[in-house]
Structure 1
Amino acid sequence: MKPSTDRSNVLVRALNTFWAPTARSMRGWALASVVANAGIAVTGAGVRVTGSGLGCPTWPRCTPDSFVPIAHPEMSMLTMLIEFGNRLLTFLVLAVGAACVLAALRLVPRRRVLVRLALLQPAGVLAQALWGGLVVRSALSPFTVGMHFLISMALIAACWMLYARAGEGDGPAVRIAHRDVRRLGYALLAATAVLLVAGVVVSGTGPHSGDAIASRFDFDIEAVARLHADIVYLVVGLTFALLFALHVTGAPRAAVRAVLGLFAVELAQGVLGYTQYFLAVPAALVLLHVLGASLVWIAALRVVTSLRTRDPLESAAAAVPAEAPAAV
């Protein structure tokens, strides 16, 4: 049995992207997973800033008596719907992850590295869902809430690597920049990861806890905000240093464009962060800041993968045309 080849049918074309995948459609699903995981991180922040973190006060049920929101005298239906809606988005992220797995398994020739990276996605989403239950049961402890966000960032890293590897061959990695320049890129990525952790600490110390009964980190908000700003300066400085190093060593334009993209996102995020601080952290800017943090992380991952390459995918798949549909 083979999938239909009627490419005039939109549904058939959509099904073929993971049932009879090409390298291009595999990358498309990986990129969709990056977007889905970043999106649910932003909507999770939306749950928090609207005070809906305990809109569904139990897990896995929404209320002690129902899996879905029902009228309750002690809870607002609006907050229940907001929190329950975010739970439902988990199934969308899981569906995209499952499509990545199917595409990786059906790709001809099958590549084990893509299968392994794809399997991380549904496994990570399920782990994230279980952690979400811990978030509710801990009454929105700032530690569990912060880890919820950081797990999403780890999933984004796995999704990005799937996207990058799907466009490459399986040969050894080849540097396209000097060894020390590439090390600088890894240092930049590590500093960005530290920046995300610092941002979580600031978020867990400041307002917008998600519910009136939620606890906060017992830190001085001014001190942790200054520490966060200092790490921002470090990340921006490393980005500028990497950009300068790529320029003087004559690195490929793709790597330079990746660093310029990161630099632009960092500047926009910095302006947003200071605006947020001086306006006493309005809820709308918190959402934009979480989106910006996700974009900074994605841009930093793009920088690192732009500093090396592998044998062209066509050479690895020469024996089997990439467009050939897989048989059942």
Structure 2
Amino acid sequence: MKLPTDNPNPLVRFLLSFWAPSARSMRGWAMASVVVNAGITVTGAGVRVTASGLGCPTWPRCTPDSFVPVLHPEVDPLNMAVEFGNRLLTFLVLAVGVACVLAALRMAPRRTSLVRLAWLQPVGILAQALWGGLVVNTMLNPFTVGTHYLISSGLIAACWLLYARAGEADGPVRRVAHRDIRRLGHVLLAAVFALLVAGVAVSGTGPHSGDEMASRFDLDIEAVARFHADVAYVVVGLTFALMFALRVTNAPSAARRAALGLLGVELLQGVIGYTQYFLAVPAALVLLHVIGSTLVWIAALRVVTSLRTRDPESASVAHSPTEAAAAV
């Protein structure tokens, strides 16, 4: 039987992907939401490292009398373009979020869990836009800037969970690894989030504030950077422990690959972090480091969701002895 999404017209296939969605197209939109939310997080860092944070000095207007960039004697046109470009990306992120909501609402049968997760996106994006106004009105206060980044991390988590849940049924959670290993995965995820918070403290203390008028945290940059590195060591140690536990318990290959992928991203991120530290924090490496931190967060989320699955609600699954032992 030919599905609607097999239509040869690419525009029709695109429209049907959220108006007559399949489980596959629902996952596709969820992954698109992960990508665009990660992308705007990185471009936001680009605004900061190019000193374009107040390129549009007002909000919601770009200038006091215009919603779009116009020549302003006190603002560099390039900085204005960079900041306004980042604001425009919000509409792309919102459009993908709305597509996720439509796809979740139009799925047959409708799955309440997906609808709820999908609604987090447009609601969160609108909240994030309002917080962006607070960032501008507080003249890039490091607390509001850092919180802006952490809210984006929360949105990425919601998008990834939508992606994972769209590939599962709606039955009870079933562990695919020992319960203590799953707990270790949750501890690891919490440690990664703590690493992001520590990174925000470093960013709010060091250079690249987004504008020369922006304030900074009154902290010792050396001490904050060392603390950030210490948390990173804890994260890597927990990742090694999780990999070892998954290996010796013969956990599913998907979980082991996810843990290995996380370790690889962490090691690469460590190389970038130490390089930027010894090179006096050049802007290009700061941007790479933000990309790395976003990838570490996504990889950690992938690890946690790989440690469990959900069966159909009506299915009566006979588990193998290995699975039964893993569930203990």
Do the aligned residues in 2 keep the contact of 1:167 with 1:313 (CA within 8 Å)? no
- Residue 309 of structure 1 aligns to a residue whose secondary structure is strand
Provide the residue aligned with 1:31 in structure 2: 31
1:242 counterpart SS class: helix
- Tell me if structure 1 keeps the 8 A contact 2:171–2:313: no
CA deviation vs aligned residue, 1:203-235 (integer Å, no higher than 9, x gap): 000000000100000000000000000000000
Quote how far apart the aligned CAs of 1:6 are.
7.5
2:121 aligned partner: 121
Deviations 1:49-84 (A, max 9, x none): 001000000000000010000011111111111100
Instruction: Check whether the contact 1:169–1:315 (CA below 8 A) recurs between aligned residues.
Output: no
- Separation (CA, whole Å) in 2 of partners of 1:111 and 1:10: 27
Q: Contact 1:246–1:256 at 8 Å: present in 2 too?
A: yes
Identify if the C-alpha distance between structure 1 residues 129 and 5 changes in structure 2 by more than 3 Å, giving closer, same or farther. closer
In structure 2, give the amino acid aligned to 1:8. Answer: P
Higher mean C-alpha deviation, range 306-315 or range 129-138: 306-315
Cα offsets for 1:139-175 (capped at 9, x unmatched) = 0000000000000000000000000000000000011
Matching residue of 1:188 = 188
Matched residue, 2:235: 235
Aligned-partner residue type, residue 188 of structure 2: L
Q: What corresponds to 1:282 in structure 2?
A: 282
> Helix, strand or coil for the counterpart of 2:235?
helix
The equivalent of 2:245 in structure 1 is 245
Residues 76-120 of structure 1 show CA distances to partners (whole Å, capped at 9, x for unaligned) of: 111111100000000000000000000000001000000000000
Q: 1:5 and 1:243, CA in 2 relative to 1: closer, same or farther beyond 3 A? A: closer
| AA in 1 matched with 2:103 | A
Task: Tell me the residue number matched to 1:210.
Answer: 210
Q: Deviations over 1:19-50 (max 9, x none)?
A: 00000000000000001011001000000000
**RMSD of aligned residue pairs (Cα, Å):** 1.5
Q: CA deviation at 1:5?
A: 7.1
Report the counterpart of residue 257 of structure 2 in structure 1: 257
SS of aligned partner of 1:174? strand
Deviation at 1:8, TM superposition (A): 1.0
**CA distance in structure 2 between the aligned counterparts of 1:160 and 1:106, rounded to whole angstroms:** 20
Greater RCO between the two (CA within 8 Å, min separation 6)?
1
1:91 matches 2:84 = no
Percent identity between matched residues is 77
What SS does structure 1 have at the residue aligned with 2:70? coil
Aligned length: 314
Residue of structure 1 equivalent to 2:140? 140
Unaligned runs of 5+ in 2: 317-328
Distance, in Å, in 2 between the alignment partners of 1:81 and 1:22 is 39
Equivalent in the alignment of 2:66: 66
Q: Deviations over 1:242-298 (max 9, x none)?
A: 000111111111110000000000000000000010111111111111110000000
Matched letter for residue 294 of structure 2: S
1:267 corresponds to 2:267: yes
In structure 2, the CA distance between the partners of 1:302 and 1:47, relative to structure 1 (3 Å rule), is same
Residues 301-325 of structure 1: CA deviation (Å, up to 9, x unaligned): 0000000111159969xxxxxxxxx
1:290-305 to structure 2, matched below 5 A, reads: 290-305=290-305
SS for the counterpart of 2:177 is coil
Q: Take 1:253 and 1:314, find their aligned partners in 2: how far apart are those partners?
A: 27
Correspondence list, 1:98-113, <5 A: 98-113=98-113
CA distance in structure 2 between the partners assigned to 1:5 and 1:297 by the alignment: 32
